[in-house]
Amino acid sequence: MLLKLLGFIVVVFLIYIFFFKNKRKDEIEKSKNDSKKLEGDTMVECKQCATFVSHNEAIIKDGCFFCSKECAGVPR
């Protein structure tokens, strides 16, 4: 009787691990993907000349990234 009870508990525990551990891993991966943002060393492409520049150094105009004021068309 005791062995049947222990066996049942082990089976339920394994089923719990199989279903809920995988679900938790998916949630962790999703939160990592959501947290990816344009930060520090992320390189973006200039819309005008296709040069890559750091996100911190890029000039943003009308929602587009530019490498310099000349490419953005901003007067000095």
Question: Do residues 25 and 48 share a domain?
Answer: no
**What is residue 32's predicted lDDT score, i.e. its pLDDT?**
60
**What is residue 46's predicted lDDT score, i.e. its pLDDT?**
93
The token pair at 63 is 């929602």
Question: Do residues 8 and 23 share a domain?
Answer: yes
- The domain in which residue 54 lies consists of 38-76
Confidence of residue 72 (pLDDT cuts 50, 70, 90): confident
Half-sphere exposure of 22 (CA within 13 A, CB side): 5
Question: Do residues 42 and 73 share a domain?
Answer: yes
Q: Convert the pLDDT of each residue in 17-58 to its tens digit.
A: 777 766 666 666 666 655 555 555 788 899 999 999 988 888
Question: Do residues 30 and 43 share a domain?
Answer: no
Q: Convert the pLDDT of each residue in 1-16 to its tens digit.
A: 889 999 999 999 888 8
Question: Do residues 55 and 32 share a domain?
Answer: no
